[in-house]
Structure 1
């Protein structure tokens, strides 16, 4: 039904409207392809995807994406919970726009910025154009590389904790391949020895491993155990009612006659225990003790008796045999080890 103000829609005008609508749809589709190609199918997206795999502990997917070689070593940090822990200190991850590489138009570099335990860091990745999918979308692949590794060194112990996971040491050393970026913390604590946590941030591949050298320190329990054994040894020396206790540093010389029942040794000061690591073993510094001897001497010529008190300082050494849980102290007096 026509009205006085209505205008008939001709076939030409209808076709024009459909054409304009089709062009608009095509423009939107092209724009969508361009946007998708710059985001979902860009080198930067691949780097973001890699970081997401690492944060989720998906080491197999990350390794497949990178196509990287894995150096020899303990792979504990390449998957699962330990991998997640290496990423827990990585925050505020972002990427720059891909940059062309002058020598090869098919290559792009992408620099990622992030904080590692609160400190600004960055890593750079190289990707190669690998053709197109669905005729429109670019495909990018990481350039082949070799993962970095971390070498952990510690004496005295045969295992350490790395990001809360215990790993064995062989001759005091272990090597761990890692992804980058990664934050690794290493430490250990046993009854006799411990090492404060030391950490590294790995931001790129490297020919040589990043090293974590743990400094072993004796624990209070270790020093206390040595102190107890040294005191027991000296108390045993003091209990002997002789002028030269057997296997002991104490000695008193006199030309007078001495009634053994009057001889009494007393320890005034026990040694201070000072332990250090030297030439592959734990050693004690020379030990000093102060003791007082009371006795009654009888002059052989006159027969007169005299009560004496003699105070002196005596030195000796001791050998240690240690493990992470045990320690044995063998005193050395007069150049000979003393059986206890």
Structure 2
């Protein structure tokens, strides 16, 4: 009898211990699901991935990627560029992240509100997330109800290229036909959000001042990268203008062909006309709808020629300054050379 009582007591003891272990496990599991695997932590990890420039990790977060049907539902093209979804592009991700609230909704989803600093601004976003198939059948997993990814509509004014972060992109990438000939281009790009981006451009001939934009979660953000001629561009056009006018001055005629200056002489010309350029128009360039234009700009040519007065037969030397104006349109050829069209 004593041995039976001992066995019963042992079984009860082991059962109690097992219950304690199971209870401890369930308590630990509940703690994990409420913290590390909770809705708030899911949102925090997404924001921290952006801050760490782990764009691949952020983009692979459940509910971030948009499939073709979702793009169509949002009125976006199926070939919408994902080129900006990479490291080295984001200027700054969310810092000082703090979960403001985590509200459990009746349908099992959570509305998580996070506060963070983006550049010098304090922002706040609410993300609605819902549970998906749990990890190992017990650990909670979550997915965004609405993708937080942003769409940035980039207008590359006067130049199809722009730079964002370490990446240079061409807004003509998905365009064909006459669209390729446009002077300015607009193209949409998917971008991880919330984050700040800096757009600019810098080359020998064109430069665009940096423009910073804050892309909030699921926002559509416009930005214009305004390319303007560099000093080197203006200098090259000036050189072509100088060479053009010098060639005009070499024509020993009263009306140099294809040139902006000339003179009519009613008397008989008795020597070869000699032209010189006293003042060359100084090139300034501003963008128009199709090119970089120089408005009508004044220059001065000088002619020296011998003539005989038809009335009294007197010989004389004609020395005269001839003001003229010159206007032109300049554009950059695909090979990087500059094309000039006189107006």
**TM-score after normalising by structure 2:** 0.75
Residue 3 of structure 1 is matched in structure 2 by none
- Could you tell me which residue of structure 1 aligns to residue 120 of structure 2? 118
Counterpart position of 2:169: 167
Match of 2:202 in 1: 189
- What RMSD, in angstroms, separates the aligned Cα atoms of the two structures? 3.5
**Higher mean displacement: 238-247 or 128-137:** 128-137
Q: Which residue of 1 aligns with 2:234?
A: 223
Structure 1 residue 142 and structure 2 residue 144: aligned? yes
**Structure 2 counterpart of 1:75:** 82
Using the TM superposition, give the Cα deviation of residue 137 of structure 1 relative to its aligned residue in structure 2, in angstroms.
Answer: 6.3
Q: Which of residues 65, 74, 97 in structure 2 aligns to 1:93?
A: 97
Q: Deviations over 1:1-51 (max 9, x none)?
A: xxxxxxxxxxxxxxxxx9xxx899999888756654432232111111222
Q: Which has the higher mean CA deviation after the structures are superposed, 231-240 or 50-59?
A: 50-59
- How far apart, CA to CA, are the structure 1 residues paired with 2:139 and 2:302? 93
Distance 2:55 2:264 in 1: 77
Q: 1:176 aligns with which of 189, 192, 195?
A: 189
Partner of 1:213: 224
Q: Deviations over 1:270-313 (max 9, x none)?
A: 11223233233333322321122233332234332233321231
Structure 2 counterpart SS, 1:250: coil
Q: Which runs of 5+ in 1 are unaligned?
A: 1-17, 333-340
CA distance in 1, matches of 2:285, 2:255: 28
Q: Is 1:236 matched up with 2:243? A: no
Does residue 51 of structure 1 match 2:47? yes
Number of aligned positions between the proteins: 308
Higher gyration radius (CA): 1
- Alpha-carbon distance in structure 1 between the residues aligned to 2:194 and 2:32: 27
SS in 2 for 1:45: helix
Aligned residue for 2:109, secondary structure, equals strand
- Could you tell me which residue of structure 1 aligns to residue 268 of structure 2? 257
In structure 2, distance between residues paired with 1:327 and 1:134: 64
Counterpart residue number, 1:154: 156
* Aligned 1:272-283 pairs, distance under 5 A: 272-283=282-293
- Any unmatched runs of 5+ in structure 2? 1-12, 72-77, 173-178, 180-184
Alignment match, 1:10: none
Give the one of 257, 278, 297 matched to 1:246: 257
2 CA distance for matches of 1:77 and 1:121? 22
Residue from 281, 286, 296 that aligns with 2:296: 286
Aligned to 1:295: 305
Question: Contact conserved, 1:267 with 1:290, CA < 8 A, in 2?
Answer: yes
Corresponding residue SS for 1:286: strand
Deviates more, 1:43-52 or 1:249-258: 249-258
The 3-state SS of whatever aligns with 1:300 is coil
TM-score (norm 1): 0.76
Report the more deviating stretch, 298-307 or 224-233.
Answer: 298-307
1:130 CA displacement: 5.3
